[in-house]
Amino acid sequence: MGRLTIKYLVLPLLLLQPLLAKGTQYGVVIGISEYRHLNEELWLEYAHSDARAFSDFLKSRFVNVPPGNLSVMLNEAATTVNIRTAFGKLLKNSTEEDIVYIYIATHGTIDRELDAAFLVTHDTVPDNLYGTAYPMSEFQYLYQNLKAKHLIVISDACKSGNIGADVRGLRRDIGEEEVVVNEYFKDILKENKGIKSSQFIYAAAGARESSIEDADIGGGIFTKSLIDALQGAADSNRDQKVTAAEAHSYVYNRVREYTKGLQNPMIINDSQYDGNLVLSVTDPSTSSPESAAVEPRVRAPEPGLAAAPAPARTTSSARTSEPGVSAAFATLTIESVEGAEVRVNRSVVGTTTKDRPLVVTLAPGTYVVEARKPDFEDYREELTLAAEQRLTRTLPLRPIAGAVPWMAKYREAMTAYGNEEAGATAKLQEAWKAIIADGKSRPLSADETQALQECFVTCVDARADKSKWRDFPKMVADYMQVSWLLPAPAEFLDADWYRDEIAKYAAAVTIETRVPGVDLRFGELPPEKLNGVRQLIVRPGSYDVFLTKPRYAPKAVRLELTPGVLAEPVKFDGQLESLDVIAITTQPVEAGVAGLKIQARPLGEVFNRLDQNIRSAVESVIKKNSLNYSDVRVILAEGLDPKTASYTFEFTRPAFETEAVKLDLNEATLASIHLLDGRYVLDHPIRLQPMTGELIVSSFPPSAAVLIDRQAVGTTPFSARLPIGNHSLKLKHPTAGVYVEQLDMKRNDSHRIEAHLKPLLVYVGILPTAEVKADKLAEADQILSARVKTLANSFLIDFQPAAKYEFWDAVLKSMFGNQPKETASHLPRIAERFDSRLIVFGAFRSMTDFLSNKVHLYLMNTASPWCDSWPVDLRTFEGLEQIGKIIDQGWQVEKHFWGNWTGLKLVDTILPGQNLIVAGIYGGSPAEQAGIKQGDAILLVDGQQRSSRDFYTYVAERQPGDKISISTVDGAKTLTVEQRPVLLNSDLLFNNSTLFALERIQAENPVASLPHQLAILDSAICHMRFKNWQLAVEQLNRLDLGQIPHFTATVSYLLGRCFEALGEKQQAIRFYEKCREARTETMGLEYSESPAELAVWRLESIG
The confidence score (pLDDT) of residue 546 equals 92
Are residues 260 and 337 located together in one domain of the fold? no
Residue 158: per-residue pLDDT? 52
Q: What is the overall mean pLDDT for the chain?
A: 80
Partnered with residue 525 across adjacent β-strands are none
Tens of pLDDT along 551-592? 888 999 999 988 877 788 999 888 888 899 999 999 999 999
Mean pLDDT of the region 293-316 = 29
Tens of pLDDT, residue by residue over 57-87, are 888 877 888 888 999 999 999 999 999 999 9
Residues 936 and 1044 grouped into a single domain: no
Q: Would you place residue 987 in the very low, low, confident or very high pLDDT band (cuts 50, 70, 90)?
A: low
Q: Is 715 exposed, middle or buried (0-12, 13-18, 19+ CB in 10 A)?
A: middle
Please write the tens of the pLDDT for every residue from 618-670.
988 999 999 998 899 999 998 899 889 999 999 999 999 999 999 999 888 88
Last residue within a domain, chosen from 659, 681, 703: 681
pLDDT at 678 over 70: yes
Whether the Cβ atoms of residue 126 and residue 168 lie closer than 8 Å to each other? yes
- Looking at the chain, the number of H-run helices and the number of E-run strands are 29, 59
In a shared domain, residues 927 and 1018? no
Strand partners, 220: 213
Q: For position 155, which CATH number holds?
A: 3.40.50.1460
Rounded Cα–Cα distance for residues 588 and 598 (Å): 11
Please give the pLDDT value at position 294: 31
Walk across the sheet containing 750-756 and list its strands.
718-723, 692-700, 750-756
pLDDT tens-digit readout, 458-489: 888 888 777 767 788 888 888 888 888 888 88
CA-CA-CA-CA dihedral for 6, 12, 13, 19, to nearest 10:
-10
8 Å CB contact between 581 and 637: yes
Contact 1059, 1075 (CB under 8 A): no
| H or E, element range at 78 | none
375 vs 954, residue with greater confidence: 954
Q: What is the 3-state secondary structure (H, E, C) of 896-928?
A: HHEEEECCEEEEECCCCCCCEEEEEECCCCHHH
- Provide the H-helix boundaries in 485-552: 495-502
Given 395, 425, 450, which residue is the final one in a domain? 395
The H-assigned helical ranges of 567-643 are 603-606, 612-624
What CATH number corresponds to the domain at position 1002?
Answer: 1.25.40.10
896 domain-assigned: no
Q: Indicate the DSSP class of residue 551.
A: T
- Please list the alpha-helical segments (H only) found in 94-229: 129-132, 136-145, 176-188, 221-228
Residue 321: other Cβ atoms inside 10 A: 8
Question: Same domain for 46 and 175?
Answer: yes
CA pair distance 404, 442, nearest whole angstrom: 12
Whether residue 845 is found in the same domain as residue 715: no
Angle at 1018 (CA atoms; ends 1017, 1021), nearest 5 degrees: 95
- Domain presence at residue 204: yes
229 shares a domain with 168: yes
Give the residue-averaged pLDDT of 402-417: 81
Does 400 reside within a domain?
no
Residue 756's nearest CA partner among 714, 808, 701, 827 is: 701
* Rounded Cα distance, 658 and 691, in Å: 9
Residue 283 CB-half CA count within 13 A = 6
Does residue 286 sit within a domain? Answer: no
pLDDT at 910 exceeding the cut of 90 = no
Same domain, 886 and 993: no
Which phi and psi angles does 189 have, rounded to 5°? -105, 15
Kindly indicate the confidence band of residue 306, based on its pLDDT and cuts at 50, 70 and 90.
very low
Closest CA to 744 of 773, 722, 761, 762: 722
Q: How many CB atoms lie within 10 A of CB 710?
A: 7
CA distance linking residue 380 with residue 541, whole number of Å: 29
982 pLDDT exceeds 70? no
Closest CA to 1054 of 1034, 1036, 1074: 1036
Half-sphere exposure of 296 (CA within 13 A, CB side): 21
Question: What 3 state SS string does 233-300 have?
Answer: HCCCCCCCEEEHHHHHHHHHHHHHHHCCCCCCCEECCCCCCCCCCEEEECCCCCCCHHHHHHCCCCCC
Per the CB < 8 A criterion, the answer to whether 543 and 559 are in contact is: yes
Helical spans, DSSP H, in 288-399 = 289-294
**Of 495-509, 546-560, 660-674, 911-925, which range is least confident?**
911-925
Alpha carbon 845 to its chain's center: 57
pLDDT above 80 (res 1101): no
Q: Give residue 471's domain range.
A: 405-572
Of residues 603, 590, 591, the one with CA closest to residue 631: 603
Nearest to 777 by CA among 661, 874, 676, 647: 874
Sign of CA dihedral 967, 972, 976, 981: negative
Q: Is the CB of residue 589 less than 8 Å from the CB of residue 636?
A: no
> Does pTM top 0.75 for this prediction?
no
- Do 851 and 766 lie in one domain? The reply is yes
758 within 8 A of 796, measured Cβ to Cβ: yes
How do strand 725-733 and strand 737-745 relate by DSSP bridges?
Answer: antiparallel
> How many other β-carbons are positioned within 10 Å of the β-carbon of residue 1049?
23
Residues in a beta bridge with 1076: none
Domain total of the chain? 8
- Check residues 215 and 181 and name the one with the higher pLDDT: 215
Instruction: Return the pLDDT at 648.
Output: 94
Q: Is residue 981 part of a domain?
A: no
> Does 290 map to a domain?
no
Same domain, 182 and 206: yes
Q: Give the relative orientation of helices 80-93 and 136-145 as an angle to the nearest 10 degrees.
A: 10
Phi-psi region at 115: left, alpha or beta (left = phi > 0; alpha = psi -120 to 50)? left
Strands lying side by side in the sheet with 854-861: 796-799, 760-767, 838-843, 854-861, 868-873
Helices 1029-1037/1010-1025 angle, 10° precision: 160
- 499 touches 506 (CB < 8 A): no
Instruction: Quote the pLDDT of residue 283.
Output: 62
CA distance 14 to 948: 114
* Residue 1075 pLDDT exceeds 70: yes
Tell me the β-bridge partners of 860.
839
Distance CA 338, CA 354 (A): 5
**232 and 345 housed in the same domain:** no
Tens digits of per-residue pLDDT, 234-272?
Answer: 887 777 888 888 888 888 888 887 777 778 887 775 556
In this predicted structure, the answer to whether residue 811 has a pLDDT above a threshold of 60 is: yes
Task: Kindly tell me if the per-residue pLDDT of 855 is higher than 50.
Answer: yes
Checking if the pLDDT of 366 tops 60, the result is yes
Q: How far apart are alpha carbons 880 and 787 in whole angstroms?
A: 9
- Quick check: is 509 in a domain? yes
Coil/strand/helix, residue 580: strand
Answer for the pair 173, 123: CB distance below 8 angstroms, yes or no.
no
Amino acid identity, position 1102? I
Q: How far apart are CA 242 and CA 53, in angstroms?
A: 19
CATH number of the domain to which 883 belongs: 3.40.50
How would you classify residue 113: left for phi > 0, otherwise alpha for psi between -120 and 50, otherwise beta?
alpha
What's the rounded Cα separation, in Å, for the pair 158 and 13? 8
Which one of 681, 711, 726 terminates a domain?
A: 681
Question: Looking at residues 311-339, what average pLDDT do you find?
Answer: 51
Q: How would DSSP label each residue in 628-677?
A: -GGG-EEEEEEEE-TTSSEEEEEEE-TTB--EEEEEE--HHHHHHHHHTT
The answer as to whether 23 is a domain residue is yes
pLDDT value, residue 325: 33
Same domain, 54 and 146: yes
List Cα–Cα distances, 382 to 345, 379, 395, in angstroms.
9, 11, 11
CB 380 within 8 A of CB 267: no
Between 905 and 476, residue with greater pLDDT: 476
On whether both 562 and 642 belong to a single domain, the answer is no
975 three-class SS: strand
Q: The domain spanning residue 562 has which CATH number?
A: 2.60.40.1120
Bridge-based pairing of strands 70-74 and 25-31 is parallel
Strand pairing class (365-372; 379-385):
antiparallel
Task: Read off the pLDDT of residues 86-120 as tens digits, 9 standing for 90 and up.
Answer: 998 998 888 888 889 999 888 877 776 777 788 88
Closest of 877, 920, 720 to residue 789, by C-alpha: 877
Mean pLDDT of 837-860: 91
